[in-house]
Structure 1
């Protein structure tokens, strides 16, 4: 540790956000450009270099956090970048998008604000690109083995990069017209600008990874054909089968899934559309679902110029502090958090009737009603108790011209025919079954990421990609030196 007293003398300071009135007028990242680097060395100094660093255990990648904190505090950026990339293929993604379970597990967080691990990670990654510390790493020689990776989200990209660097010839198949999966069309640019994604993709192309876009495996190319053509196949299609809300009025026009709304907005940013067909401008918007996807819809609707935006969360409003009995350290606690989107909604008063920022907590949707043309105009809700039972006399009605359902995902989309063509075994919960080594019931076919684990965090997605790459490498060559940070059965630390 560079400063043994840093955690006692230096308060936590996070990357400052741009003023709300400024940032809601554009789609750039919400943080003040250049404001992170001047503060980050002192923030890294707050790391205590614990004898047992629990930040390792709660991070599925096993990031070497105390090591690169110390190196940043000493301003040895090259060594810090080496240590960071030793466990994480895409730290510029996780440094912006991960909810940072590592900070919840920081030993300092027992009785003080945690080390700003996520900000330090992002600073190292950005500095590494600026200084040229992340050149392409093509293999010294090719193995002669071929691998198809289906899906180009964080799991598929991590698996492809690891396998390419191991010497295998890898082709990534993506059903959309551009590579990136949810990173491309699900994550708004104000959370992560697409230039970060493009930069990594260029690195991967230079290393030898090949990409096949606008190709639906199971429809444009038969799954059996792919299995015959390649020595191994990795399914990393994500969990894109969205959950529904079966209440009266769901058939009305103007009610859409979040992942119908967000990709169209991102396509405007890509230049494919001038205006999204689902643009929220001038509309009363209600988002059903209290998670990160709902918050992404919230920030997008605010930038669209919605007349009002309200987000419904079926859970009660959490407190500001960890419940030590229900969620003891170092587990990830459910506390009240103010994302950039919620801060914007609060300051702009997008939902005057909300409990906090734009959110109505402990709220359950009863039904929708529409106008004479069959378009939604109102959402009827009721407050619920901890068991989700309606509380009498708490019903209310919200104006709603556009309703966005952000209720999560149950597993991979089966409409392409991939699962059925291969004859993959499935779990009752809708995910692909696999053994501890990521292998499915079909020889040579492996499954990783949300398609097999169920929807999870980006840090788990990358860990899955790295781990399945090691499994495939071992299958192809009999052994592997690739790191496998998790097994298929590992789960986040919980009570």
Structure 2
């Protein structure tokens, strides 16, 4: 490393963010870039650690550890320290098709496995990554790469999320003709409609889609395969098909009052909000408006946090988020040792905003919803809950038991369900005739072939709900397999 003692001389700087109360008045990204000088110091903190665990990219105890796309993190950290931004960009793009996405919305499992994190705060990998790619666009270093030769092979990709886009990018550069089908009116999948604008501004997504289009990839939006075009037509027109439809089937609550008015899936709430913002800056009123209302979000993950942040910007009267697990510890427990992802308490952007507005964290821990109660008009008016205790039995298994006397009634005008996803929608898969297990496509990791010849699958549709870096990983790898299927061998990296 250029600064061998940098990790001893410099401390980690917190991500730069706009004032919480100020950013609640708009839908712009809440984070802001570091200065070049500050990032040079942050890059200098990267150690010459011998074995860079940040590269490893694996599941450890069912949680992602390290970078699944094997980013060359120490290399571009060193280049940033030395001020060689263009060279850093070249190293970054060797493994990551879309650093502008991962540098904004990836939870950075690489930082959890950073060697420095054994004793000190990790290297600020995610912020450096974002700045490298942003400089690439700002300085005109990112330009369309037009393939010099075309193979004559045609590939259809269904779904334009990160897995679909990554596979499209790779296969296009191999010289194949690629068409991406998207049932929504804009390409990008969850990048476009599932992640709120304050985390990922849509100009960033649209910029990449436009670049891919300039490079030769065709995007067909407002087109649902299986409805607007049949699966048989698709297979007849293309030499290979890749299913990257994501895990879109949202997990539902089964309890009394679920069908009350005002109870919605979280993704429906987020999608309508973003679409209305992009279509009309909310003047079309085609969104779920929580202004002046009591909002409860059920589910303690990132999607739930995004619902909290959205409701705050809509000027909700109150916002509470329910989670079934206890509050996380301030530091790693003995069961959560490095290099596993650190399961520790953090104050995400949405909770920081809620604290600034209401004076307290909106999260309620170890809580179970017992029923939803509607008023005479059918509109939800309250939720009934009970506190839970997480207990470990003699076999090491955890169970949740109710704590008597902790019942409580919460006022609610809107309830958003954010308890995860069950798998991919089955209708399209049935039309293709591909085999599934637990609502996921049967296609082995590393091979991506389904039981139907010429039909492949990658991303959340194959592996279930996961991280953007796994989607990019699988998009790149399925492209290698499809290229090999079509050409007999492949020059694409895997």
Given the two structures, how large is their TM-score scaled by the length of structure 1? Answer: 0.94
Q: Does 2:459 align with 1:449?
A: yes
Indicate the residue corresponding to 1:2 in structure 2: 2
How far has the Cα of 1:277 moved from its partner? Answer: 3.4
- Matching residue within 351, 362, 368 for 2:366: 362
> Could you tell me how far apart the structure 1 residues matched to 2:36 and 2:242 are?
38
Instruction: Verify the 8 A CA contact 1:2 1:70 in the aligned structure 2.
Output: yes
Indicate the residue corresponding to 1:341 in structure 2: 350
Instruction: Verify the 8 A CA contact 2:425 2:439 in the aligned structure 1.
Output: no
Indicate the residue corresponding to 1:402 in structure 2: 414
> Could you tell me how far apart the structure 2 residues matched to 1:237 and 1:39 are?
40
* Structure 2 runs not aligned, ≥5 long: 57-65, 391-398
- Matching residue within 416, 434, 439 for 2:443: 434
Q: Does 2:169 align with 1:161?
A: yes
Instruction: Verify the 8 A CA contact 1:14 1:119 in the aligned structure 2.
Output: no
Q: Does 2:91 align with 1:83?
A: yes
Query: Secondary structure of the residue that 1:299 maps to in structure 2?
Result: helix
Indicate the residue corresponding to 2:137 in structure 1: 129
Instruction: Verify the 8 A CA contact 1:316 1:361 in the aligned structure 2.
Output: yes
Shift of the 38–265 alpha-carbon distance from structure 1 to 2, 3 Å rule, reads farther
Instruction: Verify the 8 A CA contact 2:276 2:287 in the aligned structure 1.
Output: no
Indicate the residue corresponding to 2:44 in structure 1: 45
How far has the Cα of 1:87 moved from its partner? Answer: 0.2
How far has the Cα of 1:372 moved from its partner? Answer: 0.5
Indicate the residue corresponding to 2:60 in structure 1: none
* Structure 1 runs not aligned, ≥5 long: 485-495
Residue deviations 1:386-431 (CA, integer Å, cap 9, x gap): 12221111111111100000011111112xx31111111001x210
> Could you tell me how far apart the structure 1 residues matched to 2:68 and 2:465 are?
15
- Matching residue within 280, 293, 318 for 1:283: 293
Residue deviations 1:262-313 (CA, integer Å, cap 9, x gap): 0111012212442343111111000000000001111000000000000001
How far has the Cα of 1:49 moved from its partner? Answer: 2.6
How far has the Cα of 1:36 moved from its partner? Answer: 4.4
Indicate the residue corresponding to 2:405 in structure 1: 393
> Could you tell me how far apart the structure 2 residues matched to 1:14 and 1:155 are?
30
> Could you tell me how far apart the structure 1 residues matched to 2:279 and 2:240 are?
36
How far has the Cα of 1:477 moved from its partner? Answer: 0.5
CA RMSD of aligned residues (A): 1.1
Instruction: Verify the 8 A CA contact 2:372 2:383 in the aligned structure 1.
Output: yes
User: Which residues of 2 match residues 49-64 of structure 1 at below 5 A?
Assistant: 49-57=48-56, 58-64=66-72
- Matching residue within 255, 266, 283 for 2:263: 255
Shift of the 194–38 alpha-carbon distance from structure 1 to 2, 3 Å rule, reads farther
- Matching residue within 139, 158, 161 for 1:150: 158
Residue deviations 1:240-272 (CA, integer Å, cap 9, x gap): 000000010101100000011001110122124
Indicate the residue corresponding to 1:488 in structure 2: none
Moved over 4 A (4+): none
Indicate the residue corresponding to 2:396 in structure 1: none
> Could you tell me how far apart the structure 2 residues matched to 1:290 and 1:358 are?
11
Q: Does 2:190 align with 1:218?
A: no
Given the two structures, how large is their TM-score scaled by the length of structure 2? Answer: 0.94
Indicate the residue corresponding to 1:422 in structure 2: 432
How far has the Cα of 1:14 moved from its partner? Answer: 2.5
Residue deviations 1:323-366 (CA, integer Å, cap 9, x gap): 1x32211111211111111100112127x6xxxx1100101110
> Could you tell me how far apart the structure 1 residues matched to 2:40 and 2:269 are?
39
Instruction: Verify the 8 A CA contact 1:15 1:36 in the aligned structure 2.
Output: no
Residue deviations 1:111-141 (CA, integer Å, cap 9, x gap): 1000000001001010111112211112110
Indicate the residue corresponding to 1:464 in structure 2: 474
Indicate the residue corresponding to 1:246 in structure 2: 254
Residue deviations 1:57-94 (CA, integer Å, cap 9, x gap): 02110000000000000010111000000000000100
Residue deviations 1:206-242 (CA, integer Å, cap 9, x gap): 1100000001011111112101110000000100000
Query: Secondary structure of the residue that 1:389 maps to in structure 2?
Result: strand
> Could you tell me how far apart the structure 1 residues matched to 2:183 and 2:163 are?
15
Name the count of aligned residue pairs.
Answer: 474
Query: Secondary structure of the residue that 2:157 maps to in structure 1?
Result: strand
> Could you tell me how far apart the structure 1 residues matched to 2:257 and 2:371 are?
6
Q: Does 2:73 align with 1:65?
A: yes
> Could you tell me how far apart the structure 1 residues matched to 2:489 and 2:93 are?
22
Query: Secondary structure of the residue that 1:397 maps to in structure 2?
Result: strand
